[in-house]
Structure 1
Amino acid sequence: MNIYLFQALNGLGVGMVYFLLSVGLSIIFGLLGFVNFAHGALFLIGAYTAMFVTAQTGSFLLGLAASFAAVAFIGVVAERWLLRHTYRMPHESQILITVGLTFILTEGVVMIFGPESQQVPMPDMLAGVFMFGAYPVPVYRIFIFGVCAVVGLGLWFLFERTLFGARVRAGNESSEMLNLLGIKVSRVYALTFALGTGLAGLAGGLAAPLRGADPSMGAEAIVIAFVVVVLGGIGSFSGPLVGGLIIGVTQSMMSAIWPEGARLAIFIVMAGILLVMPKGLFGRA
């Protein structure tokens, strides 16, 4: 029984990383109706950015800040010069363009850092375990949970209590509404894209000490992100949080029960929930 509780606690930490990864994807899709298959590559860049900055400065916190800032900047540039011109295209075209962007970003990482997997050392201040009763919980998992909880509360406040959030919610319903209100839609889109992609970068930076950094992690991340978004409900803010925790705990528990089926289990959970709730847990029609 102890091993299952331990895995469940670990799964909560992983699930919060999935929340950060997928909430940006959900925000972008909810406002822009844009299918961003390059989201996983941005997660990848966030992991390598955190690794590089941490190695150069000795500060993991600076590495995390850089992972958000660098990926948000890439997101703004990509949105301004490329993706903005695809919003009115069919989703199939958006998928092809963002898959192509994924290849470009991934190969850029390979050219700079090489194709081999690289270990990212655990920060000294976050090494060790915390005794939760009789159960040891890695301090870094608690740190991840705390960071993601703070970010989640910040996002809730941003979208529910600020003028920018009101504009995003209005644009979520109708971009024409923003135009009628005299709001510059392109600026709202760019800021939303920067926030959504920056969160993917931060998720990559947090995940790097857990799994290392390698060029294949982007492809794995985009699959997880879409599972979480579809499970939680497309365009929802609460959905990625609940969906990420469900997927994280399921994957972690299955790795102890049936390691070979851990990846399969998340799709079974998604399919089971969608059979009962076709719109996802918090999705709209």
Structure 2
Amino acid sequence: MDTELILMQLFSGVALGAILVITALGLSIIFGMLGVVNFAHGALFMVGAYAGLWVASLTGSFWWGLLVAPIMIGVFGMAIEYVLIRPLYGRSIDDPLLLTFGLSYVLVEGVRIVFGSDGIPFPTPSSLTGVVDLGVGFFPIYRIFVVGVVFLVVVLLWLGLEKTKFGLIVRAGARDPAMMKVLGVDISKVWLLVFGLGVGLASLGGVLSGPMRSVNPEMGALVLAEAFVVTVIGGLGSLVGSIIAGLLVGVVISMTALFAPEMATIVMFALMAIVLMIRPQGLFGKLA
């Protein structure tokens, strides 16, 4: 098999993995801080893609869609946390899980009513079309851009969580929220911002994936399954685990699609099963 084809497929896996990383990071942040299993994460990924397409069509600029949509959907996520999820804190973990599960159906049906059930093309900006020669093959410029954006976001997120006072509060609150309350920190505001951040990351993933596939109401379903697989493989609540597992799953899916296309959908679940048999807490997770 041609080496250039293998390298191109490998890079396609990295680009897919980058989308999974940004989506799984949002899921992992929400679970790690709030203990909420957000089953609406895939639907919010999809809503982010539609929001990006809508803003881009209004402004005539993909860049405005990429900038505005994650902020807009992040604020929407904060409203979800404040109105729907906050009253469920302190109750069984199943309650927010079931609520977000139902919310995902509401969001999907709402998008169907507004935009229809058919897929809508999300045009790639002219400045990012075509391919570039990297010396070992020709690679799509847009996919290189996606990897670069995700890398930048991951670095900024790490700096925000590790080098700022807010990041210190988030990390401390994830370990002992009761102690943070005793110290005078309004932990509810922190939860609000963290949930909005997680949803914003999901919507950013939706916007970035739009030009790589058509935007449709069902696009979040598979992404949700992939994001949960990434989160479980990496370790629940582990940001480093989400990054490494996202890239790993993306590459495994892409290379399997090249050699055994019929196995591409299920290979990630096989990988998850193998990891859990060896490390039940995931690659970077901690045993309870």
Task: Please tell me the residue identity of whatever aligns with 2:223.
Answer: A
Equivalent in 252, 268, 271 of residue 270 of structure 2: 268
- Aligned pair 1:12/2:14, yes or no? yes
User: What residue in structure 2 maps to residue 48 of structure 1?
Assistant: 50
Give the Å deviation of 1:2: 2.5
User: What residue in structure 1 maps to residue 82 of structure 2?
Assistant: 80
User: What residue in structure 2 maps to residue 23 of structure 1?
Assistant: 25
Give the Å deviation of 1:134: 3.6
User: What residue in structure 2 maps to residue 200 of structure 1?
Assistant: 202
Q: Secondary structure of the equivalent of 2:139?
A: strand
User: What residue in structure 2 maps to residue 150 of structure 1?
Assistant: 152
Task: Please tell me the residue identity of whatever aligns with 1:164.
Answer: F
Q: Secondary structure of the equivalent of 2:264?
A: helix
Task: Please tell me the residue identity of whatever aligns with 1:25.
Answer: L
How many angstroms apart in 2 are the aligned matches of 1:243 and 1:73? 28
For the aligned residues, what is the CA RMSD?
0.9
Equivalent in 115, 120, 123 of residue 121 of structure 1: 123
How many angstroms apart in 1 are the aligned matches of 2:99 and 2:93? 10
Cα displacement string for residues 105-155 of structure 1 (whole angstroms, at most 9, x for unaligned residues): 111111111111111111111001111214111000110011001100000
Q: Where does structure 1 differ by over 6 angstroms across 4 or more consecutive aligned residues?
A: none
Give the Å deviation of 1:9: 0.7
Q: Secondary structure of the equivalent of 1:130?
A: strand
8 Å CA contact retained: 2:4, 2:136: no
How many angstroms apart in 1 are the aligned matches of 2:220 and 2:144? 24
Q: Secondary structure of the equivalent of 2:199?
A: helix
How many angstroms apart in 1 are the aligned matches of 2:56 and 2:137? 30
Equivalent in 88, 91, 95 of residue 97 of structure 2: 95
Give the Å deviation of 1:268: 0.9
Q: Secondary structure of the equivalent of 1:82?
A: helix
Moved more, 70-79 or 92-101: 92-101
Q: Give aligned-pair identity as a percent.
A: 42
How many angstroms apart in 2 are the aligned matches of 1:96 and 1:269? 27
Task: Please tell me the residue identity of whatever aligns with 1:170.
Answer: A
8 Å CA contact retained: 2:19, 2:208: yes
User: What residue in structure 2 maps to residue 248 of structure 1?
Assistant: 250
Q: Secondary structure of the equivalent of 2:133?
A: strand
Matches within 5 A, 1:274-285: 274-285=276-287
Task: Please tell me the residue identity of whatever aligns with 1:66.
Answer: V
User: What residue in structure 2 maps to residue 216 of structure 1?
Assistant: 218
Task: Please tell me the residue identity of whatever aligns with 1:236.
Answer: S
User: What residue in structure 2 maps to residue 161 of structure 1?
Assistant: 163
8 Å CA contact retained: 1:67, 1:204: no
8 Å CA contact retained: 1:11, 1:253: yes
Give the Å deviation of 1:92: 2.0
Equivalent in 178, 181, 197 of residue 180 of structure 2: 178
User: What residue in structure 2 maps to residue 140 of structure 1?
Assistant: 142
TM-score computed with the length of structure 2 as normaliser: 0.97
Task: Please tell me the residue identity of whatever aligns with 1:282.
Answer: F
How many angstroms apart in 1 are the aligned matches of 2:46 and 2:67? 15
How many angstroms apart in 2 are the aligned matches of 1:268 and 1:140? 30
Cα displacement string for residues 161-198 of structure 1 (whole angstroms, at most 9, x for unaligned residues): 00111001111111101101100011000000110100
How many angstroms apart in 2 are the aligned matches of 1:36 and 1:69? 19
How many angstroms apart in 1 are the aligned matches of 2:87 and 2:6? 48
Give the Å deviation of 1:33: 0.7
Q: Secondary structure of the equivalent of 2:73?
A: helix
How many angstroms apart in 2 are the aligned matches of 1:187 and 1:179? 11
8 Å CA contact retained: 1:47, 1:205: yes
User: What residue in structure 2 maps to residue 110 of structure 1?
Assistant: 112
